[in-house]
A and B are shown apart, each in its own frame.
Chain A
Amino acid sequence: MSRHRNVRSMNYSEEYDGYDDVYGHSVEDDYCVSPSEAAFMYDREGSKNKQKIGAFFQTVSNIAEEHEGEVDSKGSGSDIEEARLQSCIDQVKETLGSSFSIKEIVLSLKKNNFDIEKTINDLLMKRADGELKQETDKKGKAITTPHPQKAQVVSSNQTTVNVTKGFDLAQKDISRLCPTPRSESPGSGRVTPINVQSNENEEKPKHKSYGKDDVLNNYKKDRSGEKEHLYMIVIGHVDAGKSTLMGHLLCALGQVNQKTMHKYEQESRKLGKQSFVYAWVLDETGEERNRGITMDVGKSQFETNSKIVTLLDAPGHKDFIPNMIAGAGQADVAVLVVDATRGEFETGFDYGGQTREHALLVRSLGVSQLAVAINKLDTVNWSKERFDEIIQKLKVFLKQAGFKDNDVAFVPCSGLTGQNLVVKPTQKELIEWYQGPTLIEVIDNFRVSERPILKPLRFSVNDVFKGTGSGFCVSGKVETGSLSVGDKVLICPSREVASVKGLLTDDSPKQVVYAGDQAQVTLSGIEMQNVSVGNIICDPQNPVHVTTKFQARVVIFNIAVPITKGYSVVLHHQSLVEPVIVSKLIAQLNKSTGEVIKKHPRCLTKNTSALIEIQVSRPIGVELYSDCKELGRIMLRVGGATIAAGLITKIL
């Protein structure tokens, strides 16, 4: 397969926000996943930064204070007001439909001092007075007037027309998705009705039975005036500074109170781990703190101007990649942290480090937008050359991994000193050459993924635990559809029925949760031990497929030994981790076109594509990729390395 061809096919799918493009080109040998055992060992104590640590603590409190000041200033400033205005506009539109232009609503709102009741009355009065007649007639009932200056965003984010070579499975799927508020009209914070109409026509008949309008309307009602919710996973080689970066970010945003921070500082000093004080914000278990590494996905939350961001801090260590995969399955976007220190970037990137594997993994799991934090720039004296050098290397690789140039942003920063995280940098060596956005600005600019709320309910269980009251809780992500308190649901693969007693997102009770939400569900009518991580909670009328055998189309990464029939591998499907056997090699496929090159190949070698059959020892709940992207993706791992990513094409 020639390189030319690869590049070409990638361009075709440029606009497409799916998985297909990963299949449209070959991932060259040297860019592939094969972390060696060597990466397991690292010398934490020998960290070069040690001597400087003390100096940084001074800045901790400073930055936090500075930041608090900033929030205050913002509070009185335009941002909050704008958000408030926005939410009011939404509420008004909710009631009145879209027959009034935003300008009118805004005017009226201001006049009525943001009192929604009054505004509505006011507007309706006007209408009655006939003042607005021409406007309404022209616009029809369903069209919102978008913010003029934001209208262009639509074209770049939302195009679904694509010429994709390789898999075309996803195409029919995408049009059905309810576009995100962000991609539709960033200002409105919700879905415009017109899209509902067109979506409906393309719905498969089997989903017709859904009270879609109700669901959508409720969704709009529930979520109007809220900031968009973004799930972000932080990835990168072990010790790249992920936890520190995010811990510092949280501190700087005032998410961690001074007292706690002080406590962490004292305690970490006692353990001689001062350099990990920020990491402690996320690494909570004793084990993690003692060892100074993240083991399971840590979760926290913060807000940006336009978004509520749930942060998933992934473990970088290769042994904990299964945890990372589970985390990435829940994420919309990713922040890839790389260590700019000389030699360290190279270790993480070239010599079997996790940088590549992580990036490939999240891409294969459907994450398409990426911020790359070039971290620890303090160790290289904020060198622009170093920054550019790293970007250069990463760009090539990320493109090959299937990320579009436009969806990748590079940000220079330092997690330890806090430069360029939340406030504009002050380091003069950095300002000299960098005027771009801060990390938080980049995060704020991410688009939120589509929320397929009209599809039947699918909820993947990521955690099972005792709640405070009766029953027990599961947490996970609503992949598709919606879920209300009182619903009867089916737990698959056991096919037991349970009912929903309560719903929480981010510790606040909800009546309904929608696709894209990470929720905590209190279940009753079922024993706690009968629900486990990896289960799929679904609509009893429209359950997920339960099977022990399926076919998948896979791309094979840079594997050390070929895959044969009968190969034992570990399957990752959402949060499920299950040993499986590659029971058949059905055909070897052309990586770009998907054509069958050879039937029943004897083995599959690295960087190829194939159709295989997978046998699971016990039933699991899966979906065809064409029906449900979220539950149609799989990853295969062996001996601690990811060997393939795939899409489920047939359920047997």
Chain B
Amino acid sequence: MKLVYKNVDKDGQGTVGLIPEEPEDMWHAYNLISEGDSVRSSTIRKVQSESSTGSSTSSRVRTTLTISVENIDFDTQACVLRLKGRNIEENQYVKMGAYHTLDLELNRKFSLRKQEWDSVSLERIDVACDPSKSADVAAVIMQEGLAFVCLITSSMTLVRAKIDVTIPRKRKGFIQQHEKGLQKFYDNVMQAIIRHIDFDIVKCIIIASPGFVKDQFFEYMIQTAIKTDNKLLLENKSKFVLAHSSSGFKHALKEVLQDPAVTSKMADTKAASEVKALEQFYNTLQTEPAKAFYGKKHVEKACEAQAIETLLISDNLFRCQDVRQRKEYVRLVDTVREMGGEVRIFSSMHISGEQLDQLTGVAAILRFPMPELEEDDSEDELEED
């Protein structure tokens, strides 16, 4: 993302101009924009015009609109961000207060005005505009009959293709069907790699599986590339890294991201460091359960006691509609930092972020053990049931 300007006053009110440059930036924008913000951007509007004869024609015009955002919709796979709201600035084609849906576009500037830019939003801009990142990694995580072709960027893990086929098992005297099925499966995975991975951008392609699937597949792919004279694959052969995973399910990516052989090849290690942080939380829970808290109430209590050493929090929590809730989480982040604690904002688009989301979205490793909060919390949870 490119930062064009930033006018934020002391109270936190102000406008920021940004140009999204790559799909991932849409994700950042999605995390920045909240309901009630106003966004100004160039957009296409369908305009009805009535001619003097009374017949109406509709045409599409490009115009710049400013809307007050009421509804935010993000397509994670396509990376399309769609904002819906009322027009709040006089415009030649669109009446004040009329609804418009604005698709943010790549390489087109938008400006975002907020009543209050809090620390989390400002940090998001810094992260989004950090030019050092964006060394993309691709990962193929597979087992016999199942494969995910993923792109791992700094803040997102995108599944580009999922291959799920049934491979006949080997049976006595009938191994051909098994081997044929396997070959077809490998062909599919190979095609998905060719189709979805941009070798100009991607610096490293991880192939991970249990057992020998990865080796067998890699071997097959290279042999096939030689046979079909596929220059693309052959030239990029050195970018492939083979790694072990316990299964071909997506969540096993977290094992891959803990493998030093893999992380050493990754320029950007946000995904890997999040996995590590969450793992550390679980380890603490194992060894010193009184130093590992999760859930809003528990973590807030720990924060009050100035006990938090590391706060793990999912960006999902900052996207909640409820402004008051967002404020509470922002306050939590700010307080922890003031106390010298470390804050890690997890991307809910990464494997570990997904898991943190499942674990209430917020967890903390404490400096010192604290007594477990008693029953009233579980009562809360009971009501949730």
Binding site for B on A (CB under 8 A): 40, 284-287, 291, 295-300, 317, 319-320, 322, 462-466, 475, 529, 531-533, 560-562, 564-568, 570, 577, 579, 581, 583-584, 599-600, 602-603, 605, 637-641
Contacts and interface: CB of A to CB of B under 8 A. Distances in A.
Given A295-B212, A465-B177, A566-B359, A639 B255 contact: yes
A465 B168 contact: yes
26 contacts: A291-B212, A296-B169, A298-B170, A317-B211, A319-B246, A320-B211, A322-B210, A462-B169, A465-B174, A466-B168, A475-B171, A531-B166, A561-B282, A561-B283, A565-B359, A568-B354, A568-B355, A577-B247, A581-B358, A583-B358, A600-B378, A600-B382, A602-B285, A602-B294, A639-B246, A640-B210
Nearest to B377: A600
B49 interface: no
B246 A599 contact: no
Given A561-B286, A565-B359, A579 B249 contact: yes
Contacts of B354: 568
Contacts, number: 113
A562 B168 contact: no
A579 B250 contact: yes
Given A566-B360, A568-B251, A640-B246, A295 B211 contact: yes
A568 B252 CA distance: 9
A210 B172 CA distance: 36
Q: Which of B249, B250, B279, B360 has the most CB of A within 10 A?
A: B249
Given A465-B169, A565-B360, 7 more contacts: A285-B178, A299-B172, A319-B211, A465-B171, A567-B359, A579-B251, A640-B247
Nearest to A641: B246
A600 B372 CA distance: 13
A475 B171 CA distance: 10
Q: Which 4 pairs across A and B sit closest by C-beta, in order of nearness?
A: A566-B358, A640-B246, A465-B168, A319-B210
B381 A567 contact: no
B282 A564 contact: yes
Contacts of B175: 284-285
Interface of B: 166, 168-172, 174-175, 177-179, 210-212, 216, 244, 246-247, 249-252, 255, 279, 282-283, 285-286, 289, 294, 354-360, 372, 377-378, 381-382, 385
A388 to B, nearest CB: 36
A603 B211 contact: no
Contacts of A577: 247
Contacts of A286: 179
B382 A284 contact: no
Nearest to B143: A322
A568 B353 CA distance: 12
A505 B269 CA distance: 53
A561 B382 CA distance: 25
A134 to B, nearest CB: 54
Contacts of A463: 168-169, 171
A565 B355 CA distance: 9
Contacts of B381: 600
Contacts of A462: 169
A36 to B, nearest CB: 13
A324 to B, nearest CB: 12
Nearest to A461: B166
A471 to B, nearest CB: 15
B380 to A, nearest CB: 9
Contacts of B246: 319, 570, 637-641
A316 to B, nearest CB: 12
Nearest to B252: A639
B177 A287 contact: no
Contacts of A638: 246
A40 B243 CA distance: 13
B171 A299 contact: yes
Contacts of B244: 40, 319
B258 to A, nearest CB: 9
B229 to A, nearest CB: 26
Q: Which of B246, B252, B354, B385 has the most CB of A within 10 A?
A: B246
Nearest to B381: A600
A386 B168 CA distance: 42
A284 B175 CA distance: 7
Nearest to A528: B166
B307 to A, nearest CB: 16
Provide the main secondary structure of the chain B interface: helix
Given A299-B171, A561-B282, A532 B166 contact: yes
A463 B372 CA distance: 48
Nearest to A584: B385
B358 A568 contact: yes
A287 B170 CA distance: 11
Nearest to B356: A566
Contacts of B286: 560-562, 605
Nearest to B213: A319
Given A462-B169, A463-B171, A560-B286, A566 B378 contact: no
B166 A533 contact: yes
A607 to B, nearest CB: 13
Contacts of A284: 170, 172, 175
B160 to A, nearest CB: 18
Contacts of A600: 377-378, 381-382
Given A299-B171, A319-B210, A566-B358, A561 B252 contact: no
Contact of A285 (B170, B294, B357, B385): B170
Nearest to B255: A639
Nearest to A475: B171
A406 to B, nearest CB: 33
B150 to A, nearest CB: 15
Nearest to A473: B168
A323 to B, nearest CB: 8
Nearest to B146: A577
A610 B252 CA distance: 25
Contact of A296 (B170, B252, B255, B356): B170
A599 B376 CA distance: 11
A562 B282 contact: yes
Given A466-B177, A564-B359, A602 B166 contact: no
B289 A603 contact: yes
Contacts of A637: 246
A567 B169 contact: no
A577 B248 CA distance: 11
B7 to A, nearest CB: 40
Contacts of B250: 579
A564 B175 CA distance: 42
Nearest to B358: A566
Contacts of B358: 565-568, 581, 583
Contacts of B360: 565-566
A253 B1 CA distance: 72
Q: Which of B166, B250, B285 has the most CB of A within 10 A?
A: B166
Contacts of B252: 639
Nearest to B359: A566
Nearest to B293: A602
A571 to B, nearest CB: 10
A475 B357 CA distance: 39
A284 B178 CA distance: 11
A284 to B, nearest CB: 5
Contacts of A602: 285, 289, 294, 372
Contacts of A297: 169
A319 B170 CA distance: 17
Contacts of B377: 600
A295 B359 CA distance: 35
B296 to A, nearest CB: 13
B318 to A, nearest CB: 19
B46 to A, nearest CB: 39
A275 B159 CA distance: 44
B254 to A, nearest CB: 8
A529 B166 CA distance: 8
Contacts of A568: 251, 354-355, 358
A475 to B, nearest CB: 8
Given A285-B175, A296-B170, A463-B171, A562 B285 contact: yes
